[in-house]
A and B are shown apart, each in its own frame.
Chain A
Amino acid sequence: MKEYIIEKVKSIFIVLVGISLLSFLLGVVSPGDPAELSLSKYGYSPTPQEIEARRVEMGLDKPIHIQYINWVKNILKGDFGKSFSTKENVTDMIIRKAPVTFKLAMYSIVITSVFGISLGVIAGINKNKPIDNLIKLITNILFSLPTFWLALLFILIFSEKLGILPTSGDGGFKYMIMPAVSLSLITMSTTAMVMRSSMIQEFGKQYYTFAKAKGISKYDLYIKNVLPNAILPVLTILGNFFGSILGGSAVVETIFALSGIGSYAVESVFSKDFPYLQAYVLLTGLAFVLVTSLVDILIIIINPKIRLKGDIYE
């Protein structure tokens, strides 16, 4: 198991190098001169001398691999550079905006897990009965609806017609309900479908027949015997979802005007604010890799066969 974790950390490292290269190149291949962009303000065009001086200051006159190394060095010091549009430190911006996105992701993953797992378990236990068909129908519909459309529908119903939830802005729990729900419905449906089929797959196994033959209660049979086995593949996809929700909340943040890291990333695309965009790509990539790796390790820890024997490849 130790070896496994070491291997995992190694592969995380390699992936991170890849992500950092990609986000660095994003700044290099993007149109426009960064030195000029960083000097531009409303209605002011910098002179060629100013731009040249700035280019040297930013190290843009150096070869590209030196630029990359310097960039990585700065990031390791916590410096992502200054935003082209706001002239603020990108690090400060991220620190200010990340909690909103993180909160949104947490709410979404909780909704995804709680409802996805419960619906999947209920559907699996009642395979091909009316309740299962109903859950299958609902999850299939939700699964095929785009997030932005759901978000707009929610605003129409709950804010415009019923007036019970605020349309947009940062605030307490109330402000998070619609964004979190619209962000989690697709992942919840997928979780429910995977949970259902995982349960059904367990029903075909010998231990299920034996456990059932013991005459134990339905709760003991399904929740204590089957669920812990059936949930393992679901944990993996939940890990993936958490990572992708964290990175993919840009659309929802924009619709609900939440000042998270995602909504500003959309803005930064339009305003060519590459330092911010680089930081965003790098950090969400990092979060994705860390969460999915943690889940992988968690699954190994849960499995006693690997935990006690140190044998992963059976």
Chain B
Amino acid sequence: MGDIIFEDFNVNFETRKQNVKSVRDMNLTIKSHKITGIVGESGCGKSVLSLSILGLLPDYAKTSGNIYYDNKDITALANRVREKYLGREFGYISQNPSESLSPIRKIRKQFYESLDLVEKNKAEIEKKSIEILKELGFEKPLEVLDKYPFQLSGGQQQRVLTGIAISSSPRWIFADEPTKGLDENIKKDSLELFKKLRSFGIDSTLVITHDIDFAKNLCDEVMVMYSGQIVEMGIDVLDNPKHPYTKGFIESMPSKGMKIMEGKTLSPTEDIRGCRFANRCGCKTKRCDLESPKLYNYENSQVRCFLYDKGE
């Protein structure tokens, strides 16, 4: 119960000229009671993946396949029904905290609105929001409530977003690039904040990030996404990478020497027969151009690379 299961799930953004395939044939289970991280470079489809669970993709996105939650195909639900999951089952912490709050409304209104889903008594709402803000490290919660978003720093804004997302006690929290644009000190706070989510009754968390250190320190399981596919997943992926892309991605991090990977990511509009990473891969064989690899079990991980195909 509570797992999120993708079955042959695709997301396309069709325009007159081209068809951008952001998520390709996704078959994936994101387990509940865990902190799961999806890492990958910009444009690999990781944000789209999380938005498609929430049902918040823009109108022009076309999806196919299914997403199951609590044994129900949530993609088959009417919008009206599906929206009921928001806030109650699924909480969302969007990227760019500075743009995620309405600029002309006080924090109080934007905070209470969310608590209103679970609590109708005004005094209780105030009490609860003060409690949450205190827990999130605000020393003077009442002052924060009376401020406008632009009067808070980036780190504060992110904590407010987190507070709003958890206030209606959803089972899942989806956080999109929570460390983007934050400086190193605040990143540490952010890490602590996400580790603490369990104490707020948040059962399961999915973190989308391109920050490898953040993912490594936070997540129980990490999935690496590349060009619309999961290329590697497991519990120690970032400590013990197997897929050539994961290795290259880690090495390209500033903290790991910033060795830039050669070649360009395949355009999401391009369909090819073989492996989507083959054009940049140092271990490429003939098979890589002819056949698309599946996820193969190897040690603690699943890897989308023929190097780990034991011919099972």
Chain A interface (Cβ < 8 Å from any Cβ of B): 127-128, 204-207, 209-216, 220, 224-225, 228-229, 302-305, 308-309
Within 8 Å of chain A (Cβ to Cβ): is B307?
Answer: no
Decide: B86 and A214 in contact? CB cutoff 8 A: yes
Within 8 Å of chain A (Cβ to Cβ): is B195?
Answer: no
Among the listed stretches B28-36, B94-102, B204-212, B223-231, which one makes contact with chain A, having 4 or more residues with CB under 8 Å of it? B94-102
Within 8 Å of chain A (Cβ to Cβ): is B59?
Answer: yes
A–B Cβ pairs within 8 angstroms, 28 of them = A206-B96, A207-B101, A209-B94, A210-B100, A211-B102, A211-B110, A212-B86, A213-B54, A213-B86, A213-B87, A213-B91, A213-B165, A214-B86, A214-B164, A214-B168, A215-B83, A215-B84, A215-B86, A215-B87, A215-B117, A215-B168, A216-B87, A216-B114, A220-B113, A224-B113, A304-B148, A308-B148, A308-B151
Q: Which residues of B contact A309 (CB under 8 A)?
A: 150
Q: Which residues of A contact B85 (CB under 8 A)?
A: 215
Within 8 Å of chain A (Cβ to Cβ): is B161?
Answer: yes
Within 8 Å of chain A (Cβ to Cβ): is B104?
Answer: yes
Within 8 Å of chain A (Cβ to Cβ): is B122?
Answer: no
Decide: A228 and B102 in contact? CB cutoff 8 A: yes
Decide: A216 and B56 in contact? CB cutoff 8 A: no
Q: How far is A220 from B99 in the complex, measured between Cα atoms in Å?
A: 19
State the Cβ distance, A211 to closest chain B Cβ, in Å: 7
Within 8 Å of chain A (Cβ to Cβ): is B62?
Answer: no
Q: Which residues of B contact A206 (CB under 8 A)?
A: 94-96, 99-100
Q: Which residues of A contact B168 (CB under 8 A)?
A: 214-215
State the Cβ distance, B231 to closest chain A Cβ, in Å: 27
Decide: B94 and A229 in contact? CB cutoff 8 A: no
Listed from nearest, the 6 A-B pairs whose CB atoms lie closest are: A215-B87, A213-B92, A215-B86, A206-B99, A210-B100, A210-B94
On whether A207 and B99 interact (CB within 8 A), knowing A213-B94, A228-B104, A302-B104, the answer reads yes
Q: How far is A213 from B51 in the complex, measured between Cα atoms in Å?
A: 10
Q: How far is A38 from B200 in the complex, measured between Cα atoms in Å?
A: 86
| Size category, B interface | 35 or more
State the Cβ distance, A214 to closest chain B Cβ, in Å: 5
Within 8 Å of chain A (Cβ to Cβ): is B105?
Answer: yes
Decide: B105 and A225 in contact? CB cutoff 8 A: yes
Q: Which of A209, A211, A215, A308 has the most CB of B within 10 A?
A: A215
Decide: B104 and A304 in contact? CB cutoff 8 A: yes
Q: Per a CB cutoff under 8 Å, which of A207, A214, A216 touches B103?
A: A207
Q: Which residues of A contact B96 (CB under 8 A)?
A: 206
Decide: A216 and B102 in contact? CB cutoff 8 A: no
Within 8 Å of chain A (Cβ to Cβ): is B187?
Answer: no
State the Cβ distance, A227 to closest chain B Cβ, in Å: 10
State the Cβ distance, B303 to closest chain A Cβ, in Å: 33
Decide: A305 and B87 in contact? CB cutoff 8 A: no
Q: How far is A242 from B99 in the complex, measured between Cα atoms in Å?
A: 33
Within 8 Å of chain A (Cβ to Cβ): is B116?
Answer: yes
Q: Which residues of A contact B84 (CB under 8 A)?
A: 215
Q: Which residues of A contact B116 (CB under 8 A)?
A: 216
Q: Which residues of B contact A308 (CB under 8 A)?
A: 148, 151
Determine the residue in chain A with the shortest Cβ distance to B174: A213
Determine the residue in chain B with the shortest Cβ distance to A307: B148
Within 8 Å of chain A (Cβ to Cβ): is B108?
Answer: no
Decide: A214 and B95 in contact? CB cutoff 8 A: no
Within 8 Å of chain A (Cβ to Cβ): is B273?
Answer: no
Decide: A214 and B94 in contact? CB cutoff 8 A: no
Within 8 Å of chain A (Cβ to Cβ): is B310?
Answer: no
Within 8 Å of chain A (Cβ to Cβ): is B286?
Answer: no
State the Cβ distance, A195 to closest chain B Cβ, in Å: 17
Q: How far is A204 from B57 in the complex, measured between Cα atoms in Å?
A: 11
Q: Which of A127, A209, A213, A224 has the most CB of B within 10 A?
A: A213
Q: Which residues of B contact A211 (CB under 8 A)?
A: 102, 110, 113
Q: How far is A210 from B165 in the complex, measured between Cα atoms in Å?
A: 9
Within 8 Å of chain A (Cβ to Cβ): is B109?
Answer: yes
Within 8 Å of chain A (Cβ to Cβ): is B88?
Answer: yes
Decide: A305 and B148 in contact? CB cutoff 8 A: yes
Q: How far is A15 from B115 in the complex, measured between Cα atoms in Å?
A: 51
C-beta contact mask, B278-307 vs A, less than 8 Å → 1, else 0? Answer: 000000000000000000000000000000
Q: Which of B91, B102, B105, B168 has the most CB of A within 10 A?
A: B102
Query: Given A215-B88, A224-B105, A228-B105, 7 more contacts at CB 8 Å?
Result: A127-B59, A210-B101, A213-B54, A213-B90, A214-B87, A216-B116, A305-B150
Decide: B113 and A214 in contact? CB cutoff 8 A: yes
Decide: A205 and B148 in contact? CB cutoff 8 A: no
Q: How far is A279 from B302 in the complex, measured between Cα atoms in Å?
A: 84
Q: Which residues of B contact A305 (CB under 8 A)?
A: 103-104, 148, 150
Decide: A209 and B56 in contact? CB cutoff 8 A: yes
C-beta contact mask, B127-154 vs A, less than 8 Å → 1, else 0? Answer: 0000000000000000000001011000
Q: How far is A251 from B260 in the complex, measured between Cα atoms in Å?
A: 70
Decide: B109 and A224 in contact? CB cutoff 8 A: yes
Q: Which of A228, A304, A309 has the most CB of B within 10 A?
A: A304
